Structure 1
Amino acid sequence: MTTDQQTDVTAEEFWDTRYGSGDRIWSGDPNAVLVREVSGLATGHALDLGCGEGADAVWLAGRGWQVTAVDVSRIALARGAEQAESAGVADRIDWQQHDLAVSFPDGVFDLVSAHFLHSEVALPRDEILRSAAAAVAPGGVLLVVGHASHGGHRPGVHLDLPTPDEVLAGLRLPPGAWEVLRSEEHERTTTGPDGLPVTRTDNTLKLRRTAGRPGTEDRPAQP
């Protein structure tokens, strides 16, 4: 999903190296879009794809969700588990290590959240998101948030950043089985790699499953 992808390392090696480069690489705060879009939902079972150091999973668990938190990096998962323990929600989160290009967590979920599922190593993002949609229970929500601009990324890194409409098209959803609740781009200010503030454009696609049994869509064949 990049114009200059790394091909000499696995996803696990890449992300373990990235997370191992410091004590923490993210803020520890939940993503603002998650807070905005999920606060009004009834709690249930949630799947957090690419959970990183676990801030979103811990926030969800603290509000009554039972969470399956998935990442390729064992270092990130260990940090998330420590944060959950400190927050008193360790019993509400199941931390699972998956390379989503190879395996996908089992289960049916009332919320599937995928925030910033981008990578500098090969990542079949469309296929992963189709598996995510297939895991949503009837009445449940799929929330996909991604970058829409490259502001703040490391020099030389050029990620494939689809629009909300492109994400929706890539899901290949059956007609009449889903409702689009939000499809938009928005700006936010964050801190860049050099420590200076940068403005990024992100996008949000929020869908509710209105019909069909979870798992009836074709999931991508796993190698």
Structure 2
Amino acid sequence: MASFDPTARDARELWEGMYAQHHGHVWSGRPNAALVDAVDDLTPGTALDLGCGEGGDVLFLARQGWTVTGVDVSDTALARAREHADEAGVRARFERHDLGVSFPEGAFDLVTASFLHSYAFLDRLAVLRRAAAAVAPGGSFLVLGHVTRPEQLGPLVSEEFPDAVVDLPTPEELRAALDLPAQRWTVARSALVERTTTFDDGSTGVWRDGVLRLDRLPREHEDEHEDDTAPHPA
């Protein structure tokens, strides 16, 4: 069995080790509450969930009528996600990708990335820009991410690799860094949410998470905006 090595620089090694060291499930199986809230007003279509883990968000979206593809770098996580989908009688597609190397093909009505942070090297911003490019006209792009974490957990940094600090931007910082064309995107949600964790010793800690949902304009509206920015004859 693979062992979890938080200093691993290879994403597959890192996350396969993390999932494989647990005989049971790492996560609760429930969808992220912030995702449930953020997609409540959307009409189901095709969806892509990046870093799907054991499939909690994928199963939720599929139950809501979405045609979902879940992506993760860990074979163990994907095997559990498929098992959960089969047990629930839910149809979903799962693909293994190291998102720093390969990316699912196609365009989607919804692309989600929930807590896509990694000790292993990951150009997260480049991945999220590619994810935004996979959103179909009229679709939505949802990113959930940690902004601060409980003091008990310390900073997200590996002592052996002090340069491998995990970036934890606010929603507005992330939106600015993505630098998506304003004439093609609108901000549907930009917020900070807090949730409390109870640790094994009974103490509690507070996470602050960022929620950023960007909606891409339908094709005809994009074309209109592009016409507006074109030079006009004198």
TM-score by length of 1: 0.86
- 1:176 correspondence with 2:183: yes
Q: State the 1:10 CA deviation.
A: 1.2
The residue number in structure 1 matching 2:103 is: 104
Distance 1:169 1:27, change over 3 A: same
Q: State the 1:37 CA deviation.
A: 1.2
The residue number in structure 1 matching 2:115 is: 116
Q: State the 1:176 CA deviation.
A: 1.1
Contact 1:154 1:193 in 2 (8 A): no
Count of matched residue positions in the alignment of Structure 1 and Structure 2 = 207
The residue number in structure 1 matching 2:139 is: 140
Q: 1:188 aligns with which of 182, 185, 195?
A: 195
CA distance in structure 1 between the partners assigned to 2:213 and 2:76 by the alignment: 29
Contact 1:139 1:210 in 2 (8 A): yes
CA distance in structure 2 between the partners assigned to 1:61 and 1:174 by the alignment: 30
The residue number in structure 2 matching 1:218 is: none
Aligned letter for 2:79? A
CA distance in structure 2 between the partners assigned to 1:151 and 1:122 by the alignment: 23
Consecutive unaligned residues of structure 1, counting only runs of 5 or more, are 1-5, 214-223
- 1:50 correspondence with 2:51: yes
Q: State the 1:20 CA deviation.
A: 1.2
Distance 1:135 1:186, change over 3 A: same
Aligned letter for 2:139? G
Consecutive unaligned residues of structure 2, counting only runs of 5 or more, are 1-5, 158-165, 221-234
CA distance in structure 2 between the partners assigned to 1:194 and 1:77 by the alignment: 31
Runs of 4 or more above 6 Å deviation: none
Larger radius of gyration: 2
CA-based RMSD of the aligned residues comes to 2.0
Deviations 1:19-69 (A, max 9, x none): 112111111110001111112211100000000010000111111110010
CA distance in structure 1 between the partners assigned to 2:193 and 2:155 by the alignment: 24
Higher RCO structure (Cα 8 Å, ≥6 apart): 1
The residue number in structure 1 matching 2:88 is: 87
Q: State the 1:199 CA deviation.
A: 1.1
CA distance in structure 1 between the partners assigned to 2:112 and 2:82 by the alignment: 18
Matched position secondary structure for 2:148: coil
Distance 1:60 1:204, change over 3 A: same
The residue number in structure 1 matching 2:65 is: 64
Distance 1:71 1:199, change over 3 A: same
CA distance in structure 2 between the partners assigned to 1:44 and 1:137 by the alignment: 11
Matched position secondary structure for 1:30: coil
The residue number in structure 1 matching 2:160 is: none
Percent identical pairs in the alignment equals 51
Matched position secondary structure for 2:137: strand
Aligned letter for 1:139? G
CA distance in structure 2 between the partners assigned to 1:112 and 1:153 by the alignment: 32
Q: State the 1:103 CA deviation.
A: 0.6
